[in-house]
Amino acid sequence: MLFGSGPTLGVSSSNEFTFAIVVNPVGNYYKGAISGIKAFVHTEYDRAAPLGIGRSKAGGNYVADLKPMSEIRAKGYQTGLYLDAKQKK
pLDDT band at residue 20 under the 50/70/90 scheme: very high
Rounded to whole angstroms, the Cα distance separating 73 from 68 reads 9
- In a domain, residue 50? The reply is yes
Q: Which residues are catalytic?
A: 57
- In a domain, residue 89? The reply is no
Quick one: DSSP state of residue 84? P
CA dihedral 52, 54, 60, 65 (to 10 degrees): 100
What pLDDT does 74 receive?
Answer: 97
Number of folded domains that form the chain: 1
Question: What residues make up the domain containing 53?
Answer: 2-82
Q: Are 64 and 82 in contact (CB under 8 A)?
A: no
- In a domain, residue 88? The reply is no
pTM above 0.75, yes or no: no
Rounded to whole angstroms, the Cα distance separating 6 from 56 reads 19
Burial (CB < 10 A; 0-12, 13-18, 19+), residue 65, is middle
User: Would you say residue 59 has pLDDT above 80?
Assistant: no
Higher pLDDT pick, 59 / 6: 6
